[in-house]
Structure 1
Amino acid sequence: MSETNREGKRAARERLKAERVKEEARTKRRRGLVVGGAVVGVLALAAAVGVIAANTGKSEKQAGPVVAPKGATGEDGLAIPVGDASAKSTLVIWEDFRCPACANFENAYRSTIHELTDKGLLKVEYHLATLIDGNMRGEGSHRAANAAVCAQDAGKFPEYHDVLFANQPLETEDDFASTDRLLELAGKVDGLVTPEFRSCVRDGAHDAWVAESHKAFQKGNFPGTPTVLLNGKSVFGDQKDPLTPAKLKQLVQEKAGA
């Protein structure tokens, strides 16, 4: 082989090596962008998905008397409060237990919200909607909401709320329509599964309340789920500077003078 051919092959190998290095660098940058923008992406995706959901969701289970859960607050008793009522900051959250964007929000913010409520700096008002039942068919949103309200009666709403989102099925799968599945997940919360709780879940004791909650969501003309308001202002309002867990903590601490 001539020296010229050897040099040509060597040059070709060097070019291929350089291209591989460049491609690996591009791949790492893409991964970094995905990881670094995960929380921001959660909020943007939540807003986009919610808009679609809000246009089509319906709630059908409305029979029976409206039975508000213990401790419910707000207009018509449709808010489930968590945290110190005297906290200076209020986070209002409208959620659907089948909504994947809601689960993304919860997974990103759960620990921060717990930290702030535990310190008495933040109170949260949870409102339940059943959008995905209307979009994807089924009744898992409604059944899960009723079960969560039953957990509120038992003083275990925050714990069961977190378990439901941590074990959320695929949006296309209506696993939460099964009361057996809901009771199985309730077993992950110490002391929740009692005869009273089982009866409440199986009998749909709060079905009419859940339906009223969803009607309130529709009447509010909210863009979708999750809808999240911090002290009355949507956290999705400024996509150029969206809320993050760190920013939420900063805003709440500043409001409290902490």
Structure 2
Amino acid sequence: MAQKSTPKSARQAKIDAVRKDGGGGVNRIVVGAVVAVVAIIAVVGGVVVAERNQQDRVGTSTTVPAGASGMGQGFVANADVTLQPNAPTLEVYEDFQCPACALFEQVMGGTVADLAKEGKIKLVYHLKTFLDANLRTTHSLTMGNAAMCAADAGKFQAFHDAVYANMPAQEGQGWPTAQVRGFAEGAGITGAALDAWQTCVDERKYGTYVESTEESSSKAGINSTPTVVLDGQKLDFNAVPDPAALKAAVEAATK
């Protein structure tokens, strides 16, 4: 027997009316809210990943080397030398992967080192890393950190010079780990000091500092290497093409 239908209750009728007229709107609001939450999670997740990648690259240490006055400040390579009266400051901006920097060191490096040892200049290095982004590597940062670790042992200059004397044949190729350790040993870092250097390298003790010098110099408009500044004035390598001209420029800047 067919069952007789009964009239809908007033409450059910209201529910059905909402479903027909506005139910979809309620669903769209809910879906929109969910999408917004997912988008926020994605943004936050992206920031977290970026921060983790940055930490993996530069490490988490905020240690500044003894030869620098703070983050973003250059490293004074001859801080242990008594400067001659009115000695000018020579600032060298270099990226360890830069072939032109290697050429500068080949031509001028010995003269710069001698002037620094004699106290005729205050020698300040600003380590740059922009070639890492250009070449999709981390060699500039890695070698900058290793050089600062060598500075802890008082061997920055020797390590620095060894790196430039052994530039890879191909730009972006980098240096094998064993060769980098060989630079430290060749610079005279041995025994417990060598162990400390290795720990410093492995922990990327100065990674954040080296990255800060890149950021600081870039903001100051130094975006090419080598850039050499003598008492605030950029050197024109056409006007100062050789060691004799560099010595003359330093003498002229000595006040």
TM-score, structure 2 length as denominator? 0.69
Amino acid at match of 2:199: S
Matched residue, 2:21: none
Instruction: Give the CA deviation at 1:85.
Output: 6.0
Aligned partners of 2:72 and 2:212 also within 8 Å: no
Query: TM-score, normalized by length of structure 1?
Result: 0.69
Which residue number in structure 2 is paired with residue 225 of structure 1?
225
RMSD: 2.2
Tell me which structure has the larger Cα radius of gyration: 2
Contact 2:97 2:174 in 1 (8 A): no
User: Is contact 2:61–2:204 with CA below 8 Å preserved after alignment?
Assistant: no
Aligned to 2:185: 187
Are the equivalent residues in 2 in contact too, given 1:235–1:243 (CA < 8 A)?
no
Task: Say whether the 8 Å CA contact 1:163–1:185 is kept in structure 2.
Answer: yes
Pick which of 207-216 and 62-71 moved more.
62-71
Q: Given residue 68 of structure 1, which amino acid in structure 2 is its aligned partner?
A: V
Deviation per CA, 1:124-177, whole angstroms, max 9, x where unpaired?
10010112211111111110000001011111101101001101113434323x
Q: Is the 8 A contact 1:100 1:171 kept in 2?
A: no
2:77 counterpart of 1:78: no
For structure 2, the 5+ residue unaligned runs are 1-52
Deviation, 1:248, is 1.2
Closer, same or farther: CA 235–171 of 1 in aligned 2, 3 Å: farther
Q: Aligned partners of 1:65, 1:203: CA distance in 2, in Å?
A: 8
What stretches of structure 1 of length at least 5 have no aligned partner? Answer: 1-58
In 2: Cα distance, 1:118 partner to 1:182 partner = 25
Tell me, in whole angstroms, the C-alpha distance in 2 between the residues paired with 1:112 and 1:162: 12
| Deviation of the 1:205 alpha carbon | 1.2
Is the counterpart of residue 147 in structure 1 residue 131 in structure 2?
Answer: no
Counterpart mapping for 1:166-245 below 5 A = 166-176=165-175, 178-192=176-190, 194-236=194-236, 239=238, 241-245=239-243
1:17 corresponds to which residue? none
Greater Cα shift, 218-227 or 185-194: 185-194
CA distance in 2, matches of 1:184, 1:153: 17
Residue range with higher mean Cα deviation, 59-68 or 242-251: 59-68
